Structure 1
Amino acid sequence: MNEALTLISFGENGWGDEIAKGVIVTVTLALATLPFGLILGFIIALAKKSQEPSLRMAANIYTTIFRGLPELLTLFLVYFGVQIGLQQLLKLMGFDVYIEVNSFVAGMVALALVFSSYASEAFLSAFRGIPQGQYEGGYALGLSHAKTMRLIVLPQLIRLALPALGNLWLILLKETSLVSVIGLSDLVRQSGIAARVTKEPFLFFGIACLIYLVLAIISSSGLSSIERWSKRGDATR
């Protein structure tokens, strides 16, 4: 027991500092990915409900691709594909240089692409749950389309899409573990290094499991609070 406490302690003799840094990287990556995924997912949802057939087709192709591909494969395509593509482009321009894509940025882009493809379906379902009369009521009050969306539709959209988006956030938080394969020092990678060096895989991977569970509990509590806030205007019966 004392040996285990020493291994997970902070300082020169323990791995607590490295594990803590991994947690910070994991949470930072998830939080950095979330706004991009939400905005892109909302735009794709708007394209899917557009009257323009080409926009609907492009949005459907997008979601089919990134919902169909494994997340790890998407990460590899972004991380290695962008490097190769930029190098080939620069070579055509006469520059023979080596380019390395930042693993944090690559992970954020890959996870945002996957997250947005699922988030678009959540937003689209929420759009379908808003009666057409809500739009017509806004227009009847003299509101423009943009103000109708911002003042009338968007608050209802958030409330309707929140349960599905909350589940997607929890999935995103877990999928950040994939970035360990491209060298980003997240929680899983730091736990793996500690396990290999100390020959204590059960201890460190068990700690990683507990940390993910704690993050999920904190997230669930936060999501419940946001959901209660979003329903503050509902009439009580």
Structure 2
Amino acid sequence: MGSGFVFGFGENGWGPLLLHGAAMTLAVALTGFGIGLLIGTIGAWAKLKGGYFCRSLADAYTTIMRGIPDLLVIYLFYFGSSAVLTPLGGLFGASGFISIPGFLAGSLAIGLVSGAYQTEVMRGAYRAVSSGEIEAAIASGMSQLTLFRRIVAPLVLRHALPGLGNVWQLVLKESALVSVTGLVEILRTAQIGAGSTGQPFTFFLAAAVLYLVISSISGWLLQRTEWRLTRGSRPV
């Protein structure tokens, strides 16, 4: 059976399944990255503006999450939830293993891990903003909300974007680990296809190409976004 036929879009082709796996990978990565961005923003605020307790909590969070393997965090979410849901389901007559869906477990785990890195990215980006720009905006009578929307947020994003781009590439690769929960993304589809056809090299090579394509396109989009955000600050 030729690789062209294997990856075709006919009745026996694996093309649609691989594309579905790629879509699932993107969905998990985007959801996890979004959760991480929210956590990172809160964590950066806690480290920069919070009191002693908030700073200590944020420091502990970033230290722990950057020190634990990502796969272990996914296992803790997936199997840890079963430790609660399985006995709870038994009270209502359910039997067998019960856990939160693989997509949710993977997204939350990736979000929690990436949030630790995004906390440091956002904290560094805020510190890179010139205090004079903020002071000038305050002196002009801007409200706190207007100051954040028109001055702080755009400047922080401008400085944070390169670091966030690196975190996104890490998140994209971490999404492959979610296959341990049974979620059918790129890697899981490749594993199933390799076992069904007896062509492991062909399928894992195809998975590598898909990851490379997604990574390259997202990298190009991030570069374009960074270029647009820094147009007014580049030297002529």
TM-score scaled by length of structure 1: 0.92
Cα displacement string for residues 97-140 of structure 1 (whole angstroms, at most 9, x for unaligned residues) = 56421110111100000111100100011111112222222221
Quick one: distance in 1 between partners of 2:171 and 2:234? 33
Change (3 A) 1:200 1:123: same
Residue 8 (structure 1) aligns with:
7
Residue 232 (structure 1) aligns with:
231
* Unaligned segments of structure 2, at least 5 residues: none
Residue 186 (structure 2) aligns with:
187
- Structure 1 residue 109 corresponds to structure 2 residue 108: yes
Quick one: distance in 1 between partners of 2:84 and 2:147? 42
Residue 146 (structure 1) aligns with:
145
- Structure 1 residue 155 corresponds to structure 2 residue 154: yes
Seq. identity, %? 39
Residue 199 (structure 2) aligns with:
200
Pairwise mapping of residues 19-38 of structure 1 onto structure 2 (< 5 A)? 19-38=18-37
Quick one: distance in 2 between partners of 1:45 and 1:85? 31
Quick one: distance in 1 between partners of 2:2 and 2:87? 52
Cα displacement string for residues 215-235 of structure 1 (whole angstroms, at most 9, x for unaligned residues) = 111011101110011112225
Q: Which moved more, 1:205-214 or 1:136-145?
A: 136-145
Q: Secondary structure at the match of 1:123?
A: helix
User: Size of the alignment, in residue pairs?
Assistant: 234
Pairwise mapping of residues 3-152 of structure 1 onto structure 2 (< 5 A)? 3-87=2-86, 97=94, 99-152=98-151
Change (3 A) 1:90 1:137: farther
Q: Secondary structure at the match of 2:22?
A: helix
Quick one: distance in 1 between partners of 2:92 and 2:16? 42
- Give the CA RMSD over aligned residues: 1.8
Quick one: distance in 2 between partners of 1:213 and 1:193? 20
Quick one: distance in 1 between partners of 2:217 and 2:48? 34
Amino acid at match of 1:62: Y
* Unaligned segments of structure 1, at least 5 residues: none
Quick one: distance in 2 between partners of 1:101 and 1:149? 37
Cα displacement string for residues 58-107 of structure 1 (whole angstroms, at most 9, x for unaligned residues) = 1111111111110000000011112213455678xx65656421110111
TM-score scaled by length of structure 2: 0.93
Change (3 A) 1:236 1:70: same
